[in-house]
Structure 1
Amino acid sequence: MKSINGKVTLFMGAILALVMFAGLVNVWISYAQISKVNAIVNASGLLRNHMEADMLHDSIRGDVVTILVKARNADPDLTADIERLSRNNKLLMEKLQLDLSYQGDRTVRDAAATVDAPLAAYTGKALAIAEQARSNPETATAMLPEFQSAFEELEGSMASISDAIEKHVAAVGTSSASYLRLALFASAAGMVLTTLAIIGVAIACRRHLVAPLVSLIHAIGRLARGEAGVTLPCQEREDELGDLVRATQDFRNQLDAADRSKAEQTHMLVSSIGEGLSALASGDLSREVNAQLSPPFSQLKDDFNSAVAALRAVMGEVVAGAESIRIGVGEIRSASDDLAHRTETQASQVEEAASQLGEVTEGLARTAHAAATANESVSLVREDATQSGDVVRRAIGAMDGIARQSEEIAEIIGMIDGIAFQTNLLALNAGVEAARAGDAGKGFAVVASEVRALAQRTTDAANQVKSRVTSAGEQIATGVSLVGETGTVLERITARIEEIGELVQSIAVSSDGQSNSLQQINKAVGGMDRSTQQNAAMVEQANAATRSLGQETQKLAAIVAKFKLGHTADSNRPIVMRAA
C-alpha cells in the first residue's frame, strides 16, 4: 500500500488476526484438556467401583461359609451374618449396575450386560443357603457345590468386565497423552507466531514511520539554518510523507528563484518564509505565511502554506496511526490477560484432578493392605481348622481305645459268668452229696445252698454289667461315627478356607498392580500440570513483547508531540499513549 494509514491498518489487521487465531487455539486446547481430565477421573472411578464389586463378590462366598459353620455350631450370631450377606448382595448389585450405566465406553457396558444371569444365580443361591441354614444345616451344606459353580461362573463374567475396564483406562491414558502433546505444540506455535508478529510490527513502524520522520525533521532544520546543499530524504516514497518531501523540495526550488527578485520582495519573502521555517523547525505546523506578496513570490507563499498543510495532514495521519497502534496494543494485552486467566484456571483444574487421582491411589493402597490383612486372617483360620482336625482325630483314637477296653471288659464279664455257672454246678453237686450224707451233711447242704445263691447273684450282676457295657459300646460307636463325620466336615471347611486364602491373595496382587497403574496415570496428569505452567510462562513472554511494542509507541508519540497542528478537528484531539 502507498498510504501510511493503509499500512498501519494492514499491520493492525494482521496482529488482530493472529491474536484471534491464538485465542481460538487456546480455547480449543482448554476444552480438550478439560474433557480428557474428566475422562481420566470417570475411568478411575469406574475402576475403583469394579474393584469394590469384585471384593463384595468374594466376601459373599466368605459369608456363606461362615453361615454354614455357625449353623452347625448353633451360633447365636447366625442372624447377624445372614443380614450382612443380604447387605453385601444388595451392594454387589448396585456396583455392577454402575458398571452397566457407564457411558465412557461401549465395550465396558457390553461386558457388564453379560453379568445379569450369573449375578442373579449367585446371589439367589447364597440367600437360599442362608435361609436353609436356619432350619436344616445339612441340606444347606449339600447346596454348597451348586453355589460354588455359580461363584465360578460369575467370577468369569466379572473377569471379562475387569479386562474391558483396564483396556478402557489404558486407552484414556494414551489418548490424553496424545492430546497433551498436540495442545502443547499448538500453544507454542500460536505464541511464537503472535510474538513474531508483534516484533515485526514494531520494527516496521520504526523503519517506515519513525526513522523517515526523524530524518526529514533534521533535513528541514538544516534548511531553516540556511544550508543550501541539503538533500531532502524520502523523495522516492509514494505516500503522504513523499508528497510532503516533494512539496518541500518544490518550495525550496521556488525559494531559490525568489532570492533573485526585487529587494523588498526578497526581504519580505525571506522574513516571512524564515519565520514560517523557524516555526516549522520548532515543530509548529500551524504557522503559515500571511505576508502580502506579489507574483511570483505569492506562489512561493502558497507553496509554503501548501507544504505546511500537507505536513500537517501527514502528522494528523501519524497521530491517527499512533492511536490505532495504542488501541491494538490494548486489545493484544487484553487478549493476553484473558489467555493468562484461562491458563491459570486450567492449571487449577489439572492440579485438582491430580489431587483426586492421588486420593484414588491412596484408597487402592489401603485396599491392598486390607486384602493382605485378610489373607493373614484366613491363614490363621486355616491353621485353627487344621488344629481342630488334629483334635478330632485324637478324639477318635481315644474313643476307639475306650471301645476296645469295653470289649475286654465284656470278655472278663463273660469269664466271670462262666465261673459263676461252674460254681452253681459245684454247689448243686455239693447239695446232692449232702442230701445223700443225711444228717451228717445238713451243715454242708446249707453252705452249698448259700454258695449257689451267691453264684446266682454273681451271674445276675455279670449279666447287668455286660448289658450296660454293651450299651456303652454302642453309644461309643455312635460317638466315633459322629466325630468322624465332624472331622470330614472340618477337612472340607479347611479346603474351602484355603481356596478363600488363595482368592484373597489374588485380590491383594491385583490391587497392588492397579495401584501402580493409577500412579502412572497420576504422573501423566502431573506432566499436564507442568505443561500448563509452561503455557503460562509463554503468555508472560507475550505480555513482555506487548509492553515492548507499547514503549515503541510511546517513542512515536513523543516525536509527534513536538508538532503543533493548529486548530483543526484532528489537532484538537490530545495524543494520549497509555502504557501497554
Structure 2
Amino acid sequence: MMALLVVGGSLAAWRLDRIRMGGEVQLHQQVNADLIADILPPPEYIIEPFLEATLIARNPDTVGTRAKKLEGLKKLYLERNQYWQTARVDESLRSQLLQQAHPAAQAFWNELEQGFLPAARKGDRAAIEASYAKLTGLYDAHRTAVDKLVTMALADQQRVAANGAFEFYLAIGIVLALALIVGGQAAHFYITMYRRVLEPVGTLSALTDRLAKGEVATIPYQDRTDEMGRIASGLEHYRAAAAAQSEADARKLEAQREVTEVLGNGLLALREGDLSRTIDQRFPAEYEVLRHNINEAIASLRARVQLVSESADNIRNTSSEVAQGSEDLAHRTEKSAANLAQATEALAKIEERLRATMIAADNTVKRAGEATTALRDGRGTTARAVQAMDRASGSAKNIDGVIEGLDKIAFQTRVLAMNAAVEAGRAGEAGRGFMVVADLVAALALRAEDQAKQARDMLSETQADILQAADAVHDTDTALDTISSDVEAVHDLIAAIDHDNHAQSAAVSQVSTAMKGMDQVTQQNAAMVEETSAAIRNLSSEVNALAQRAGAFRFDRTAGTRAAVHTGELATLH
C-alpha cells in the first residue's frame, strides 16, 4: 500500500508539473501561440491595412482590388474588437486596448474610407499624399498604444506565471503532507491489524485444521473479550462436540456394521430368487423400521411376482390366439389388396379410354361448329349472289330499253337521211355532195339498227341465263339451309354426347381416386396387420421369457424350518 501511495503521488506530481504554468504543456502552447503571432498579422494591429494603404499610395490603379481586401480586414478587426470587449482579460489590458489603441485605429479606418480611398479612386495625387500623411500619423499613434499594450501583457503574463508556480508548489506540498499522514495511518493500521487480527486468525486456522484431522489441541485466546475471544470459545465448543460426536459415531458404526451384515445375507437370498425368507431378528431401535419395511417389501414383491407369473401364463395363451387370428387377417388383407389393385388398374385403363373418347368428342364438336359456321358463311354468299342476279336481271331490262331507244334513233336517222337525199335530188348539182353524206348516214343508221337487233338478241339470251342462274342459286340456298339445320342438329347431338363423356370421365376419375385411396388404405392396413403380427410374435416371446424368469423365484418355505444365516448374535433369516 505504501508503495502504491508513493508511486501514485509521484505520478500525480509529474502530471501536475507538466500542466502547470511554465510546465511542458503550457510552454508548448505558448510556443505555438508565439509562432502564430509571428507568422500571421494580428487583426487588432492595423499594420496590414497600413501596408495596403501604402501600396495604394504608390500605385493608385490597384485601389479596386485592394479596397475589397481592406473591407475584409476591417470586418475582421471589428469582430476581434467586439470579442475583446467581453473576453476574460485584465481590466488594465482591456482599457489600454479599447480606450488607447482602438480610438487611433477607428480614426485610421475613418480617414481610410472617407479621404484616402475616394482620392485614390479619383487619382488625385495631392489628396492621396495628404490623406496618407494623416494615416501615417494615426498608425504611429496606434502602434505606440499597441507597443505599450504588449509590454503590459508580457508583465501580466509573468505575474500569472509566478502565481501559477506558487500554486503548483503549494499543491505539491499539500499532497506530500497528506501522503505522509496517510502513510503513517496505513502503517499503524497494518501493525494493529496484524497483532489483533491476522496473527490470531492464522493460529486459530491452524488449530481448526488439526481438529478437523482428529488431533487433540488446546484452544488459546479464550480469555479475550473481542471477536477473536468469541471465535476461540466457539472453536472450543466445536472441539468438545466433535469429541462427543466421534464416540457416538463409533457406537453407531458398530450397530450399522451388524445391521449391514444381516441385510447383506438377506439380499444374497433375494439374488438367488428366494422370496420366502424374512428377517426375524430385531434390530436396534433406530433400524427397527428398516427391518419392518424390508419384510413388507419382500412380502409385496412375492405377491406381485406371483401375479406376474400367473398373468404371464394368461397373456401367453391369449397372445397365441391373437397371433393366429392376426396371421389369418394378414392373409385375407393381402388377397383384398391384390384384388383391389387389379380393380384400380382396370379402372385406370377405363378412365384413360374415356379421356381419349372425350378428346375425340371435343374435336368432333369443334369440327361440327366449324362446319356450321362455314355453312352460315355459304348461305350469306348465296344470298349475295341471288341479290347480284336480281340486280343483273334489272340491269338487263334497262339495257333492253336503251337498245330499243337506239333502234328508234337509228330508224329516225335513216328517215332523215332519206329526206335529205330527196332534198339533195331536188337541188341538182348543188346537192350532189350532200346526197353522198345522206347516203352514208342512211348506211350508218342501217348498220346501227342491225347492231341493236344483235344486241337485243344477245341480251335476251343473257337474261334467260341470268334467270336460270338465279333459280339455281335459290335452289342452292334452300339446300344449304336444309344442310345447316341438319348440321346444327348433329352438332347438338355430338355436344350432348361430349357433355355425357365429360360427366362419365369425372365420375370415373372420382371412382378411380376413391379406389386408389382404398388401395392405399388397404396396403397400409396390410402393413399394419403384418407389423401387428410381428409385434404379437415378439410379445409371445417376451411373455415366455417373463414366465421363465418368474418361475425362477421360490415362494414357499422349505421344510418349514428356520435356517440360521449367521451363527453369532445377529438376526436370522427364513
TM class, shorter-length: 0.3 to 0.5
Higher relative contact order (CA 8 A, sep 6+): 1
Larger-Rg structure: 2
TM-score, normalised to structure 2's length? 0.36
